[in-house]
Amino acid sequence: MTPPPAADTPKAFSPPPASDEQWMRVALEQARSAAGLGEVPVGAVLTAGDELIATAGNSPIGLCDPTAHAEILVLRRAAGRIGNYRLTGTTLYVTLEPCLMCMGAMIHARVDRLVFGAFDPKTGAALSRYRVGSDGRLNHDIEITAGILEDECSALLRDFFRLRRDCGRSA
């Protein structure tokens, strides 16, 4: 999928560092683990430079918590590990474009950079539906890199939902 035009967001499509694919593969592992637990397969990783700070997969069903998106969980784990709710100097990698809630949490945590794989045309709040964090309207901007391993990330979601639909039909 081609990203939407970003004329008003000059930081939105920076050239990705070589490590982006490496970290996105770790996020994909988290997404696969979430899928194995019956969760929507979204995985997230938070790094500071070359250091892995935290990982998480979607867990709203297992935790009975509608806020337990992979991004929220990785921010909570990282803040606990670092001992500070401000996560400056970090990059959050996630397999699916974040929703409004998750983008808001990243703003409050002061995450420097977001890297995501698959676009979410229905609820994506980084570029697809909204431009939270890169539209200059808030007190913190997030550098956004989109489409890293997009095909793999999209296929994981597509296959997960296809399997759920197919199982529903055969039941």
DSSP state of 69: -
Active-site residue identified among 21, 29, 39, 71: 71
Mention every residue, 6+ apart, whose C-beta is less than 8 A from residue 49.
89
DSSP 150-163: HHHHHHHHHHHHHH
Can you give 52-66 as a three-state secondary structure string?
EEEEEECCHHHHCCC
CB-based contact 72:105 (threshold 8 Å) = yes
Active site annotation includes 71? yes
Contact 150, 118 (CB under 8 A): yes
- HSE (CB half, 13 Å, CA atoms) of 55? 16
Question: In angstroms, rounded to a whole number, what is the distance separating the alpha carbons of residues 35 and 87?
Answer: 27
Q: How many CB atoms sit inside 10 A of residue 7's CB?
A: 7
Q: Any idea which residues carry the catalytic annotation?
A: 71
